Structure formats: structure tokens, C-alpha cells
Structure 1
């Protein structure tokens, strides 16, 4: 914004200097000067609006990335708990939620992210894909302790990414998925 202000100030000084030495004499020259000033003001205003829109897009992309990371942390905690309790319904619901969260993470526009946020989203996408691949063959009678250990090892990495980007993990979940659990209970027959 300072560069923009400096450019506007320099342009104003240049116009004043030109206007001082080359004063308009006729009404046509005055009209040309007024029109020129109007066009320049419109161009500067458009540039300012573009800069503001760009900053807002960057801020929104960062917020979506933080929400993605927070949701990843939450669902990994839930999957870890489900594996610890050996709860098949909770496990299946949270695995579906993980799939939805990965879809959310794929919607983050990487071109709008900067260093840490970009690295965080890329890393968390890879972790989510790995988790989905790891959990897809799991059955109700499968190796629960192996999966719990897997989720337990990934939670500190996700929490570290959140902290590094200025969004420390929260203790509660981002969304209430009670309705999804209820609907799964009806589908699962348990």
C-alpha cells in the first residue's frame, strides 16, 4: 500500500508541475485536463480495488487452509479414539468425514498460498490420502492397535503444522456430525 501511495503522490506532483508550466488557456484544454484527471483517478481506483481483492483472496485462502488443517486434526483424533474403542460405527463415520475433509483440502487454491501454508496444505493432503489408503482395507475384526498407532503418530505432525501457521489446534471438533452418525447407524443396521 505504501508503494501505491508513493506512486499516486509522484503522479500528482508530476501533473501539478506540468499544469504549472503548461496552463490550459481555452475551455477545450480545461476539459481535456479534467478528463485526463478523471481517467487517471479511475485507473488508480481500479488498481487499488484490484490490490484489495488480491489481499482478500490471499487471506481467504489462508483461512480455508487453516480450516482444512483444523478439520484434519479433529478427524484424526476421532479416528484415533474410534480405533482405541474398537468402535466400527464411529470408525466408518469418521473415515467418511476424512474423505469429505480431503475433498475440502483439494479445493484450497494452492496458487494463493504462501510458504508455510502451501507446505502445510500439500503435506496434509498427502497425509489424508495415505490415511484413506491405509484405512480402506480395514475391517471390523482388523488390527485396531496398528491403526490407532498410525493415527497417534500423525496427530503431532498435524498439530505442528497448525501451530507453525499461527492456528494452534483446538480441543473440540469443528462440526457436529451427530446427524451423520445417526444416518450411518440406520444404514449400518447396528
Structure 2
């Protein structure tokens, strides 16, 4: 996984609540076993019609959001099934940070385990950020060590994150990577038995 220390990125506003994992990545695209290649299907049913033609008024098609890496979302983001493909699709598309008032627990855990920082922020503050992002060319800076979100225009927010999740993201480690930090002790144990 790629470490997250300080990330500055273009913000994309998705002002929708209760976005479930099937809306993030529809079930018909879950045939792959590798983690790559899902980004093209992100929000597919909102981005494309039944024939696969782009729905032009979906904001992610707007040129002002090309390269966006910070997703601003509504309440209860990632609800629904526990599919890990949802964070895979978001990450493959280019989103490294999600900021929402709340998340489904399994989605939030899957996000962290796959290298996405999921920040909780009060609805009113996210609405302020969404309004700025709707104008376009709006960037945010997320500092994981300081646990802050800033916009360079006076906005600053301190977020909470568990130490284990923070360590994983800051060092770019997934569960296997953390286990491999103890490889010597594991090998010693195996050799004794």
C-alpha cells in the first residue's frame, strides 16, 4: 500500500446519503479477483446509461474534477454489503481520502485495510466544503500525523483516528505487511516447532 502522510488533492463532492456498496461498484463487475481494474466501474449506474453511454450530467464527468483524489460524501457512506470491492474501486479510480459524516463500519474498516483514509466530519462542515468543491478547483490538504484537514483558505478541522489505523495508513501497511514486521519472531517460532 502507498503510505499516506500529507496528501493534497482536488475535492469531488458527492452530496448523497446512504450510498451503498452496490452503488459504489455494482455486482455485475465483481468477477475479478485482483484489486485493479475496478475504477472504471465506480458509480457505474450513475455515470452510464443501460447501453454504457456516459450520463453527462453526473458530476464526475465534469472536467473540473479530473484527477480528484478526495471524495466528500454524505451520511452513512458505504452501507450495504461487506464487499471489499467498493474501496478497491474508489482507490483504483484515484480516491485516497473520503470525508463523510459517518460510514458503515465494515466499509470503513475495509477502506483502511486497503489504503484509504476515511475521515468523519460533521455534516455542516462537509456541506461548506461541498459548496466550495462544486465551484471547482478546490483542494484540501490532509495531514495524517497532525490529524488535520485544511484548505488554505482558513478552514481547518482536527479528526480522530485510532492509533492502529493511523499506523497502517502512515506506513503503508496492510494486515499482511504488519504481520511481516514480525517475520523474525514468526520464523523463530516455526523453527522451534
**Taking structure 2 as the reference length, what is the TM-score of the superposition?**
0.23
More helix by share: 1
Question: Computing the radius of gyration over CA atoms, which structure comes out larger, 1 or 2?
Answer: 1
More strand by share: 2
**Taking structure 1 as the reference length, what is the TM-score of the superposition?**
0.23
